[in-house]
Amino acid sequence: MKKTILSLLLIAVSTTTFAQLKVTSAGNVYVQKSYTDTNSSFSVGDFPNNYGIYNSGYKIGVHAKKYDTTSSNDCVGILGESKRGTNSGNYFSVGVWGYSEHAAGNRNIGVFGTIHPSQYGAGICGSTEGYPVLPTTGYYAGYFYGNTYVDGTLTATNVINSSDIRLKENVTYLSASAKSRDETLGNVMNMNVIKYNFKDKPVENSDAARVQTKRTSEKKQLHYGLSAQELRELYPDLVYEGQDGYLGINYIELVPILIRSIQELKQELDELKGAGGEDGVRQSRSAATAVQATNASTGNVLYQNTPNPFKEKTTIRFRLADDAQNAAICIFDLSGKLVKKLLVSSGDESVTVPGYELGEGMFLYTLMVNGQEIDTKRMIISK
C-alpha cells in the first residue's frame, strides 16, 4: 500500500506545477489540475470536494463535481474536449464517450443526465452552436438546438408541431389563395401513392457498412408514401434536402392539404344537393356509376399516367376492347384546345408522351373510342 502511494506521489511530482495528487482521510484519491478554456467561459480550477479519480459508494471510476455558491461563474463537473489533427482517415473525435455493459442484460446506461423538476433546463442538451442552448422555461429530459437526425425508428407517445398563431406571420387561407376552388383537390388527385422497400445509402466508411448489414431485416418491410421528387413539383415547400443530399417530405403539413381537399369535395356535394336535393345527388352518383360500368363492360379503360408530375416523359396506359375502332388519346390544355392527338388500336396498351412537345403546366388527356369520350384525367408537366 505504501509503495502504491509513493508511486502516485512520484507521478504527481513529474507533472506540471498546476497538477495536484491528493489522498483524503477516508482513503479517496483524486487528481486535480487547474484549467481554463480560452475559447469559452468554462473554468475547471482548484475547488474543494472535486474528485478526479474516485472509488467509493457506487464504485464510480471517475467522479467530478463542482460546487461554487460564491460566484456567478459557469460550473462544470466534467469537461470533455477532443481535437484531431489534419491527418486523413475515418477516425472519431469524441468529447465524451459513454459505454455500459451489465451481465444481467438490464439497466444499462451509456450516458445519463437528469435535472431537478423544479428548475428550468434539460437533463441532456445538444447544440450545433458550439455552446449549450437551453430553454428559458420548462424542464426537459432532452433538449436539442439545431437539426437532429435519427437513423432508425423513432417512437413517441405524441408528436407536437409548434402551431401557435402568435408565432406566425403572412397568414393567408388556402381557400382564398387558390387559383380555383378545385386546385387543392386537383393536386391531391395528382399525388401518386407508392409502396416500396428501402435500400442502403452509399457508405463512406466501414462503420456505416456494419450498421447497414445489421439492418437487412428492415429492408424487407413494405412502406407507403410519396416520391419527394414528384411532390416537389406540386408543393415544393413540403420537400427538404438533407445535408447528405437526399430529399425528405414533411408529411405532417400534408394533413392541412388533405383537409382542404375534403372541404372542396364537401362544397361540390353541397352544390349538388342545392341543385337537385338528395335525388340530384343520387342521380349524379348513379350516372357516374353507370358510365364506369359501361366503360368496363365494353373493355375500354383509361388509367392515370405515370410518373405524374413529370418532366421528360410519361406513360399513359389504357385498355381497348377487341372491336374498338377510331381510338385515340387526345391531349388538351386547360382552355380546351387540342394540343396533341395520338392514334391507338386495340393491340396497344400504352403511349409515351414527351414533355418538351407540350411545355410545362397542367393538361387534360381523354380516351376517345368511336367518337365517344371514355374517360378524362389530368397530368402535370413540371419545369
Provide DSSP, 241-293.
E-TTS-EEE--TTHHHHHHHHHHHHHHHHHHHHHHHHHHHHHHHHHHHHHHHH
Q: Is the pLDDT of residue 330 over 80?
A: yes
Mean pLDDT of 180-207: 76
SS3 call for 238: helix
* Radius of gyration for the alpha carbons in the chain, expressed in angstroms and rounded: 34
Q: Would you state the pLDDT for residue 371?
A: 84
Please tell me the distance from the alpha carbon of residue 131 to that of residue 128, in angstroms, as a whole number. 8
State the pTM of this model: 0.54
Q: For residue 30, what pLDDT is reported?
A: 56
CA distance 82 to 113: 20
Whether the predicted pLDDT of 249 surpasses 90? yes
pLDDT of residue 226: 92
The partner residues of 344 in beta bridges, in order of sequence, read: 327
- What is the pLDDT confidence band of residue 316, given thresholds at 50, 70 and 90? very high
Q: How confident is the model at residue 1 (pLDDT cuts 50, 70, 90)?
A: very low
Least confidently predicted of 29-43, 115-129, 223-237? 29-43
Pinpoint the residues of the chain covered by CATH 2.60.40.1930.
Answer: 301-381
What's the CA gap between 259 and 372, in Å, rounded?
Answer: 35
Q: DSSP letter string over 143-196?
A: EEES-----S----S-------GGG--S---HHHHSSSTTHHHHHHHT---EEE
User: How confident is residue 14, by pLDDT bands cut at 50, 70 and 90?
Assistant: very low
Instruction: Reply yes or no on whether the pLDDT at 19 is more than 60.
Output: no
Q: What is the Cα–Cα distance from 182 to 189, expressed in whole angstroms?
A: 10
For residue 331, what pLDDT is reported?
Answer: 93
> Is 13:1 a contact under the CB 8 Å cutoff?
no
Choice between 62 and 319, residue whose per-residue pLDDT is larger: 319
Quick one: which of 301, 290, 296 has its CA closest to 367?
Answer: 301
**Rounded distance, CA 107 to CA 143, Å?**
23
Contact 120, 135 (CB under 8 A): yes
pLDDT tens track for 150-193:
877 888 888 888 888 888 888 887 765 445 556 788 788 888 88
How many residues are given for the chain?
A: 383
Task: Give the pLDDT of residue 37.
Answer: 43
pLDDT score of 337 more than 80:
yes
Model pLDDT, residue 268: 73
| The three grid cell numbers given for residue 128, joined into one nine-digit string | 450545433
Whether the per-residue pLDDT at 21 is higher than 70: the answer is no
Q: Is 306 helix (H, G, I), strand (E, B) or coil?
A: strand
For residues 214-220, average pLDDT:
66
367, 298 in Cβ contact below 8 A? no
User: Quick one: average pLDDT of 125-136?
Assistant: 82
Give the mean pLDDT of the chain: 75
User: Can you point out the beta strands (E) in 73-172?
Assistant: 121-127, 139-145
DSSP calls for 310-329? BSSEEEEEEE--TT--SEEE
- Identify whether the C-beta of residue 98 lies closer than 8 Å to the C-beta of residue 111: yes
Reduce the DSSP state of residue 194 to 3 states and report it. Answer: strand
Give per-residue pLDDT as tens, 92-111.
Answer: 788 888 888 877 767 788 88
Reduce the DSSP state of residue 201 to 3 states and report it. coil
Residue 36 or residue 256, greater confidence: 256
Single out the residue of 128, 153, 133 nearest to residue 143, CA to CA.
133
CATH of 301-381, one of 2.60.40.1930, 3.30.70.1050, 3.40.50.1980, 3.40.50.720: 2.60.40.1930
For the cut 60, the answer to whether the pLDDT of residue 287 exceeds it is: no
What 3-state DSSP class applies to 78?
A: coil
Cα 315 to Cα 9: distance, rounded to the nearest angstrom: 82
Please check the confidence at residue 51 and state whether its pLDDT lies above 50.
no
